[in-house]
Structures are given as C-alpha cells and as structure tokens.
Structure 1
Amino acid sequence: MSAAAPTSGPATGLLAVGAYAPPNVVTNAHYAARLDTSDEWIVSRTGIRERRHAAAGETSSALGAHAVRDLLTRHPDALEGVSAVICATSSPDAMFPSTAALIAGEVGLRGAAAFDVSVACSGFLYALAVGHSLIAAGLAGRVLVVGTEVMSGTVDQEDRNTAILFGDGAGAAVLGPVPAGYGFQSFVLGADSSGGPHLYLRGSALRLPAGTEMGPYLTQNGREVFKFAVRTLGDSAEQAMREAGMSTAQIDWLVPHQANRRIIDAACERFGLPLERAVVNLDRYGNTSAASIPLALDEAVKAGRFKDGDQLLLAGFGGGLSWGAAALRWWGGAG
C-alpha cells in the first residue's frame, strides 16, 4: 500500500506536547446567517459545531510559536537539546523563509535546522516520521515538530462546501529518547497523485492536474475525498499496527485526523473500538489540517486521558491524496 516500516534504533517518543487555538470562535450560526446552510445541516454531515479563526494578519508561524510556548508551560526544559525544527503546514507564512525557521527564531532555537513539510492534513504524521528518522540516524538528539494552519485564509468564505469545514490552530511536540518499550513502533506513509484533482490548493503552482480550475482557493470534491478517507484511514492504521507486531484489538486510543465525524465513527467500527476511545475535538475546531492531530493529542494529555503504557494509533489523510499512520506506546513522562 505504501512505505511502511517498524522503527529502529533507540526508543524515540513524545517528550512534551502543546497547542494553541485563536480565541475567535466562529459558530455554525455565522454561516447559517450568510450562506444557504444551517446548524443542523452542518452538524449532521460533518459533526462540526464551531471552529476558530485567526485574527487579521495572524500567521501560521505566530500560531505555531504560541503552541510551543504552551508546551513550555508544562515542560520548561523541553527545548534543551533540540537541534531540528520541522513544521507541517499547508498555509505557510511564505515559501521562504520556512515557517519552521520563523517559529525557531521566535522560541529561541536560532541555529537549529529548520524546514517545512507540505502534505496537507497528513503533514504532522510525515513530520513525526522525519523527526524520528533524524534522531535514529544520529543527526539530532531532540526534534521539535509543529503542525500549524491558518486554513480560514485558504478557503472561499462564500463557499458553503468548504468554508464551514476548516478552522485555524496549531500543535507542537518534542521528540526525543524515551525508556525502552515506549515510543514510536511503526510509521506508514503514502500518496497517490491520481486523486490530486479531488483536493488541491493552487498556491504558486503553474501546472495543475488536467481538468482542475485555476482558482485561488482550496477546492475539494467532498464525495470522493470521503470515500478515499474511510478506506485509507482504516487500511493505513491496520498496516501500522501490523508493522508494530500487534493487532487493532490492542489499540487503547485512536487519535485520528479531525475531518468528519462519520469517518472517525467508521474507523472505530472497523477496529471494534468504543467511540469514547477515539480522541475527537472536531466539533469545536473543525478541520485544522496539519494541526488537527497535535491539537487532539494535547487536549487528551491535558485531560489526563492517556495513561503510561497506553497503545495509541495516530492516523490521517489529506491532499496528495496522501495518508499516514503511526503506532505509539505512550510514555507517561510526556503528560
């Protein structure tokens, strides 16, 4: 199906997490008053009740830096030894300098290697895999991974098919050595460009897949993306567990990309997992693309939901069309 492998080298896991969401709450009523939609229509089809929007001029790097500072409130020494910063975003401040470099400068990591990963909603999982690989190769001791998005600026706010879905936010995590038996056990990454026309954002591209329009906003074929997501999230998650030498029956927590409640429910049904064992905050944040999984992780940690030794499964999908999954044994020291 895709590139997949059990992890190797010293045990590497999450040492600390943090998150930030702008204070501006945009409810379904906001769109119901302006567009041909309603709260009932949005909730029944997506599960979303509200989302956050960044203030005018507030960029992805600003949100990302806030998330790192939140991380530091609980783990003040987490950035010590960080020698690389990876930012997953599809709404960068600029093509260059990288959003990662801007965040690094804001949080006192000038001189660290810094680069962006652009895989839309799968980006945070790709960034985690790259960060893990840097540590395993001896190129970094600790890695700061940030998923941050200002998606409200990428969608046409007059288009009910996309405006209602996306929100803004950021999450951050520090990767580093954890005790043996904990940490990442496998990663699954993949992409299929034949599905590219179903979900794309032009950016500065001069060439697009045949049949796509040259508009400035995110464009999505919701029906096709939904079918892809239901199939791929389940397949990649099962593959990640197999690579880790386990079955889906051993999952304690599913931490999925937050795109649609029906997709998450379908994954739980496939794995035989009670719905309350899926971390879901979609109703309050909408789809925050690369920020959705770290936002969900942080919320679960702050609520004390993860216990030492819990088996986590992280899974996502997005533009590309792309997918990613990771099996992770939770180390309680990150709480």
Structure 2
Amino acid sequence: MRYARIAGSGSFLPKKIVSNEELVSTLLLRGIETSDEWIVQRTGIRQRHLANSEESTSYMATEAAKLALLDAKIKSSNIDLIIVATSTSDKIFPSVACLVQSNIMATSAAAFDIQAACSGFVYALTIANNFIRSGSARNVLVIGSEVFSRIVDWNDRKTCVLFGDGAGAIVLSESKESDRSIIASDIHSDGTCSEILQVNSYVDKKGIITGDHFVSMDGQSVFKKAVNVLEKSAIEICNKSGIALSNIDWFIPHQANIRIINMLGRKLNIPSNKLIVTVDNHANTSAASIPLAFDKARKDGRIRMNNLVLMQGVGGGFTWGSILISI
C-alpha cells in the first residue's frame, strides 16, 4: 500500500507589515471610521503582511516552495507534480504552478492550479494524496499562495481589514508507513451559496473586463455557514477515520476570523490550547492560511512527530473541507 506523508514545509510572508493602527490612520484620512479595538474585537486581527509590486503570487509561492524542498531534503528534479491553490493568479494562464515549476527547475513535474477560494489548500492536499495513493506520483509539492490585497476594496471597512498576503508550501512524499500519513479527507461544496462570498468580475462578450473585481461578502451569512459546515465536516472525518475528536492533537482551521475559530472550538469542545491561531499576525491569507499556520506551529515545536493534525478550510463557492494527518 502507498501512503502520503508530509516530508517538509515552508512559508513566505511579505516584508511589509501593516498594523491595525497604521491601517486605521490611512482609513480615517479617507473618511472611513474604524479603530484597532473594533478590528480586534470582530476579527482577532492585529496586523497583516502586504505584498509589494514585486511580490506576486508566483514569487511568494516559489519562495515557500524552495524552503519546503530544503526542509524535506528533496531536489526539485524529484518533484512529480506541483499543485497551487490560489484565487489570485498572476495571469489568466499560464498557471501559477507552471511559473513555480520553471522558477525551481522542477523539470519532471506536471503542474496545475486549483481554485476553491479559502478551502483551496485542503482540496489541493486531497488531490495530491490521491495521486500518491494511486501510484501516479511519488513527491508532490502543494502550495497555497495569495495576494488578496490586490482584490480588496480599501474603502470597504467590512472587508479591507480582513485580508493579508503570503504563501505556504508542503511536500508530500510516498511512504509505506500508514501511521505517518494522510488518514482521511472530506471535501464539499454548495453553489447555491455562491453570492455570500465572491468576486463578481468577468470578461464579457466584447472582451472587456466588467463587474466588481473586489471581494464582496455577507459577513453574517458566511459566519453561520462556516461554523455549521466545519462542525459537520470535523465529525464526518472522525467517523471516516475511526479516530475520536478528543484524540486529535492539533486543529488548524482556516484563519478567517477569531470568532469563527472560537465558535467552532466551543461547538466541538476543542480546548483552546489545541487550536493553532495565526490570524492575529497574518490576517486572512485565504488558501495560504493553513500551510502558513502549519509551518509556523511545526517550526516552533508545537507540532511534533506522531501528532494527529486536523486541517479545515472554508471559503467562497461555497466550499469547505477537512483533512486529518498523522505527522
């Protein structure tokens, strides 16, 4: 039997850090009333990293990928597949994954992007696991990379305080050990809820980009939907794996909002010391939020060998999913 284990991880955050105080000062100059206290109470965010003009989605993805390969002690030439989860690709095509493939000289790798908004990394890990389990790949580079700052309306208080930029990467490698591998995954979607979180921009019949190219969100609806589906998904993945929720060592939810994370923790009776939280420093980095949080917790020693880790994503589409991994 073939299994997929995490061989290494890496992350990249833009150098520019914008605190709530700095953001509030800028917004007040535009006549938008807000405060550090308001942002922290409603989101848990205290700062965010924002990309400069040189830090594209592919650039950040490449930097995270290099660190993940170094951590895994795997040469880029041994990567069979690159999957990038993103909603903010550099171009319509080629894919970010193909640009990364070129940048790291992964000459043997197939490459493609997937778009499942903030759930993208969980979807990508699920796909990568299936490639390895089927024997179609031995080493897969899975990346979440986003520059959401470029699709945020900085005059909209409801959304502009929420997002940040960054990239995280994981190398999955073939293993014969079932006790150190991806144990189970669970992904879903509900297109009837597409309008509660979207970027309603498209190319019309005349070839003109039209619509609203900024993120729009019905915050209350997203909150209710997110908590509900993630609770059910966590229970479902425990049923699939036969592992009790109480036996899971670490929970890495999508870092969208501290209120969603805390509410989910209460519903599932997850102790706060089992929750990996980075939203305070990274804000919502969409598909990059889970690998960024994982890499931080792994590198600071919280996540250790033989730990059970549950990752959960939720985002526009509406999409959501969970993946349970033995490290």
After TM superposition, the score normalised by the length of structure 2 is 0.93
Alpha-carbon distance in structure 1 between the residues aligned to 2:317 and 2:116: 7
Secondary structure of 1:23's aligned partner: coil
Q: How many residues are aligned here?
A: 317
Secondary structure of 2:80's aligned partner: strand
Q: Are the equivalent residues in 2 in contact too, given 1:16–1:78 (CA < 8 A)? A: no
1:197 corresponding residue in structure 2: 195
**Aligned pair partner of 1:188 in 186, 200, 204:** 186
1:151 corresponding residue in structure 2: 148
- Give yes or no for the alignment of 1:65 onto 2:62: yes
Q: Are the equivalent residues in 1 in contact too, given 2:57–2:147 (CA < 8 A)? A: yes
1:17 corresponding residue in structure 2: 9
1:47 is displaced (CA, Å) by 0.2
1:257 corresponding residue in structure 2: 254
1:78 is displaced (CA, Å) by 5.5
- Equivalent residues in 2 for 1:219-230, closer than 5 Å: 219-230=216-227
| CA distance 1:60–1:298, change in 2 (3 Å) | same
2:38 corresponding residue in structure 1: 41
Residue deviations 1:294-330 (CA, integer Å, cap 9, x gap): 0000001110111221111111100001001011111
Alpha-carbon distance in structure 2 between the residues aligned to 1:302 and 1:111: 29
Q: CA RMSD in A?
A: 1.6
Alpha-carbon distance in structure 2 between the residues aligned to 1:156 and 1:241: 39
Identify which range, 103-112 or 151-160, moves more after superposition.
Answer: 103-112
Alpha-carbon distance in structure 1 between the residues aligned to 2:153 and 2:304: 41
2:120 corresponding residue in structure 1: 123
- Equivalent residues in 2 for 1:130-141, closer than 5 Å: 130-141=127-138
- Give yes or no for the alignment of 1:303 onto 2:300: yes
Q: Are the equivalent residues in 2 in contact too, given 1:27–1:51 (CA < 8 A)? A: yes
Q: Are the equivalent residues in 2 in contact too, given 1:256–1:316 (CA < 8 A)? A: yes
1:11 is displaced (CA, Å) by 1.9
1:76 is displaced (CA, Å) by 3.3
1:205 is displaced (CA, Å) by 5.4
| CA distance 1:74–1:283, change in 2 (3 Å) | same
Alpha-carbon distance in structure 1 between the residues aligned to 2:169 and 2:182: 17
Alpha-carbon distance in structure 2 between the residues aligned to 1:322 and 1:77: 32
> In the alignment, residue 3 of structure 2 is paired with which amino acid?
A
- Give yes or no for the alignment of 1:275 onto 2:272: yes
Residue deviations 1:189-219 (CA, integer Å, cap 9, x gap): 1100111000001343559xxxxx9312111
1:68 is displaced (CA, Å) by 1.2
| CA distance 1:255–1:198, change in 2 (3 Å) | same
> In the alignment, residue 220 of structure 1 is paired with which amino acid?
M
2:24 corresponding residue in structure 1: 32
1:265 is displaced (CA, Å) by 1.1
Alpha-carbon distance in structure 2 between the residues aligned to 1:14 and 1:74: 11
1:262 is displaced (CA, Å) by 1.2
Q: Are the equivalent residues in 2 in contact too, given 1:65–1:106 (CA < 8 A)? A: yes
Identify which range, 236-245 or 75-84, moves more after superposition.
Answer: 75-84
* Identity in percent: 37
Residue deviations 1:11-33 (CA, integer Å, cap 9, x gap): 21211010000010011112211
1:111 is displaced (CA, Å) by 4.2
> In the alignment, residue 185 of structure 2 is paired with which amino acid?
F
Secondary structure of 2:287's aligned partner: helix
Alpha-carbon distance in structure 1 between the residues aligned to 2:261 and 2:312: 10
Alpha-carbon distance in structure 1 between the residues aligned to 2:311 and 2:53: 32
Identify which range, 232-241 or 97-106, moves more after superposition.
Answer: 232-241
